[in-house]
Structure 1
């Protein structure tokens, strides 16, 4: 009969002290980066750590300090969009860079279903993170409500109206959408439609509002198709709907580059030349913009900087205990290429 497997005994701080021939207190001072330890003792302790295989018990340390050393990045998107959207990846990398610089660990949490929401709320209540950054928060978002209730330092990427108390980092989606639509109008096109998306959050609503601002009295609500997600597939569906409604359409503003890429795919399959027959513009200046043929005219938003700035604000609140309310707006620019 096989012997039951037992977990190897974990080396302790006492093992390190015994191997190095110093006191436990001296080992503790070295581990905590404190001064007043001789160079010879420090070298002996470092050699002992290597020899006995000591690994610091982070959980015990966190319990003592009431700090986890981690910040959650909570992405409220379906799994498919999380993988497909380059902006989310850029936000994640920007967040991670800022947290790493401060010696904090990034914890990624993805919310796709109601069950995910319940699981994440329970996790947040367990004290596993010191702060949180929420990407794509919806109106009446239970995650934002839970973070406020738990008093966890939180910053939103975007600015839902139902959580005005939480600081946020964003761009001026409305002005940016107006500016690129005005450039599209200036090319002489008169039948311009929009594939709008994500109208349950501020970015989607503001981009539609900017499109409407640019067209003024020429705005035609029948030339706006509403799709749920910033995705390639949604762009395909939206473009088919626009062509059914207005076969003579000659300009399209897509609410994201991924949507624009889907629209271009459908237009080319329909025999439409871009930009000769239909001019197409997008939003984000993500990798999708350069995958399109021709390359996509779009709005460049600093996705990596959005993540980094959100991380900086969270870390500031963790350190000081003071929340800075309000919205930090980062600049955008129109990047004009051959698609329009």
Structure 2
């Protein structure tokens, strides 16, 4: 097998020192244009690719960004949001030569995970997702001097660049859509209560009912999971007066809810209307197709990656407000059934 070319080979072919090669490839000033051209021509001729570890040493960067997820690993695999979010990140960092380090963490180990990433200099910055009420991470990354971008609204006045999408208007729009269809008993299957965005969506549902002059319907936890959505739907349908419509905190729990309702002999949307959140690819393939709130996780990933790279390079960046989520009307919502028909 042919030996891989080295920086010494590039230097020899260009007739310069290895230090000069390094200066040229890292765009440092002080090298004559003709010398730069010789070095780049030698790199191209030899097909030399710089070592990531060597480049990290020369630039002081790890050339990686971090995403710490404090959820059960099997839930990550079933939640369609994060694959799309990470694909958005990759579409940006692949152009810069950076990598994405995904770190799984248990709730009790989370702080130590961030401390270890900072101490080992394994990443140049991190994304903070699943922001929680009284979240310690904004203050922690500030203490560690670790560049970070928050994905979603931050509570508590933390000074941290954010990439946010206000999901409250679209949830209110979904409820008003159901009210216009004649629904008066509209339940909600909520995400984890500790997450800021889960609380915001639940509050938007409650606010929309109040705006319509309707009492707050039943709320059950769904946990953003299929199992949680299924359990909550079974409990709602077992009530003496079952709801005619259910709004779910995400599409995964809504999809499971559709299956439970159909197993119980209900027709959608004749007997029950269902609304999800996210608009994952599967949403348009359920039967009936799922009415949902489109948030575009890939665009979140792209915007978050661009913001984090700017924080790493410049120390700061402006907050980003993404385009509002939109309500996508499909076949899972329809006129409210007559109470005698259920």
TM bracket (short chain): 0.7 to 0.9
Q: 109, 115, 130: which is aligned to 1:121?
A: 115
Number of residues of Structure 1 aligned to a counterpart in Structure 2:
325
Aligned pairs for 1:50-65 within 5 A: 56-65=50-59
> Is 1:259 paired with 2:257?
no
The residue number in structure 1 matching 2:63 is 69
Aligned-partner SS, 2:154 = coil
Q: Note if contact 2:167-2:324 (Cα within 8 Å) is conserved in structure 1.
A: no
Contact 1:170–1:330, Cα closer than 8 Å, also in 2? no
Unaligned segments of structure 2, at least 5 residues: 334-342
Q: Deviations over 1:194-229 (max 9, x none)?
A: 1111221221111111111121142335x11123x2
Correspondence 1:2-151 to 2 at 5 A: 13-14=7-8, 17=11, 22-29=16-23, 31-32=25-26, 35-37=33-35, 43-44=41-42, 47=45, 56-115=50-109, 117-151=111-145
- Residues 1:282 and 2:276 aligned together: yes
Q: Which moved more, 1:242-251 or 1:197-206?
A: 242-251
Shift of 1:238: 0.9
Give the CA RMSD over aligned residues: 2.7
Counterpart among 302, 323, 328 of residue 330 in structure 1: 323
Measure, in 2, the Cα distance between the counterparts of 1:77 and 1:142. Answer: 16
Deviation at 1:256, TM superposition (A): 0.8
Query: Aligned equivalents of 1:23 and 1:196: distance in 2?
Result: 63
Which residue of the partner structure matches residue 332 of structure 2? 339
Cα distance, 1:259–1:152 mapped onto 2, change above 3 Å: same
Decide which of 172, 192, 204 is 2:186's aligned counterpart: 192
Alignment match of 1:224 (pick from 200, 219, 222): 219
CA distance in structure 1 between the partners assigned to 2:178 and 2:252 by the alignment: 18
Query: Cα 1:98–1:56, aligned 2, differ >3 Å: closer, same or farther?
Result: closer
Name the structure 1 match of 2:337. none
Q: Distance in 1 between matches of 2:19 and 2:235?
A: 71
